[in-house]
Structure 1
């Protein structure tokens, strides 16, 4: 039975031509050339080894600063800020967070409405961590990325660090009060309540209606209640709002109490 490195050696020419070569095609090729049937996992590992043999591995983080510098040179005005682990070895700083915002996005934000949506997602694959992002909408109503950050975890510290960079490098010249739309993550709430540049009257915070409805639907399965939840959060007409609230209270008073207690102001914003 061939090992993954044997498979890699046999498929090097194909990987050199097509790095996206499918695993099923590798299995077929090995069966035809070596007269053996290999598992999907072993074929996948063979492909990974072949890619590493040609292009190298991603283990050398020392190359990351060079990549970032090239990114900045190709995108004038791009801002990058590093936060290194406080317990890094002397002379060998270990990256903990990195923030970046492309120059064109920073410039374009001056022409956009002062509404920002922030969120985070898990990184998949060999290296774990979280990707934080801030987006807005341009005057043509298209979603426009503003800033990103790679962090180890979504914590109060990493979120506050992200918001500090966002204010310093992206929104600092905004003349209007900024509306931040997000889920109810504790780190975001802490940043909005405690960072002076993000507290009222400079900015205000509202919860994303999509996240609210998702949490609401986890507790209340009724399609009618979910429809009313969306109507209550999205309508701008007082009469429709009162009618939807009255209908929800008739269907389930507990559901309305849950929804009403999410935000003291009673205002919910749809995600941008």
Structure 2
């Protein structure tokens, strides 16, 4: 009776609501635990058991390779044939990267299903300023081995481009792995994550210096950057020392070795994680398919917008000019 209401994973329908609806519609007094079990059974009818979802992955990968020839899809398993990692870079992403800005933004978020894991997404921005997905992966946990496997596959799929860079939060594992895998590609820190670290370490000064820091990070001129840094030193020299230790070239636009444009944070890849909040509770097969469909919708909408653009730039940038 309630199964159909769980077809849309974004809809939240709790055991308490089931209990209330059964009372109102049928006049039945059910216990909470009966309604909770009914909910679990309904979800299992629709999606199957979470453990069985892993068994669908080999067939799913075969279908993806058939549908998107030229994709870079890899799955790694334990010696006892248990799932470890899966990496997906579809051919449409690979072909589109040559027409996007040469920067890769990476971020991870935790899955909330019965079997814990981590979802990792890599993306960039296209010429119209839209989010353009590059690859996504599910792993058991964040560690050096996983990040090495992820960036090695990313490099195999996309290679290296001139003026290319990688942007992420200040995860020590990522810093070490990126430096090893991409020896000729600079890596940068998300300025928002850096300032969060400053807030945690130096609580007293962050309110007074927050606006100065973001202006300093976004400045195009080195002279303006150093003038602002002098103001920071006057307020709290500890903040200056911390930012200097992090490396000015890692977070300040004026000190970067490649042109970073507007991409000073990892916000666009965090937008992907935010869009998948409810989907993160799904079994792995359903989750991967939800990610594919979402990226497909985005790319289709962006392509339609480009087809109906009659100016050299899209309307947003044309208006700015």
Equivalent residue for 2:178?
192
Note the alpha carbon deviations across 1:126-158, whole angstroms, 9 max, x for none: 121111121111111111110111111111111
1:18–1:126 distance in 2 versus 1, CA, 3 Å:
closer
- Larger mean Cα displacement after TM superposition, 94-103 or 60-69: 60-69
8 Å Cα contact 1:96/1:152 also seen in 2? yes
Alignment size in residue pairs: 248
| Unaligned stretches of 5+ residues in structure 2 | 254-263, 267-321
Equivalent residue for 1:117?
105
What is the distance in 2 between the residues matched to 1:100 and 1:267? 29
What is the distance in 1 between the residues matched to 2:148 and 2:37? 39
Deviation of 1:18 (Å): 5.2
SS of residue in 1 equivalent to 2:106? strand
| Unaligned stretches of 5+ residues in structure 1 | 1-10
SS of residue in 2 equivalent to 1:29? helix
Equivalent residue for 1:16?
4
1:38–1:247 distance in 2 versus 1, CA, 3 Å:
farther
What is the distance in 1 between the residues matched to 2:123 and 2:146? 18
Match of 1:183 among 169, 178, 181: 169
Equivalent residue for 1:210?
192
What is the distance in 1 between the residues matched to 2:145 and 2:45? 39
What is the distance in 2 between the residues matched to 1:258 and 1:31? 61
Deviation of 1:108 (Å): 0.4
Whichever of the two has the greater Rg, that structure is 1
Equivalent residue for 1:234?
218
TM-score by length of 1: 0.83
Alignment of 1:127-138 (within 5 A): 127-138=115-126
Deviation of 1:105 (Å): 0.8
Equivalent residue for 1:3?
none
TM-score by length of 2: 0.71
> Quick one: higher RCO (CA 8 Å, sep 6+), 1 or 2?
2
8 Å Cα contact 2:5/2:13 also seen in 1? no
What is the distance in 1 between the residues matched to 2:193 and 2:6? 40
Equivalent residue for 1:56?
48
Deviation of 1:34 (Å): 5.6
- Please, what is the CA RMSD of the aligned residues? 2.2
The structure in which a higher percent of residues are helix is 2
Equivalent residue for 1:258?
242
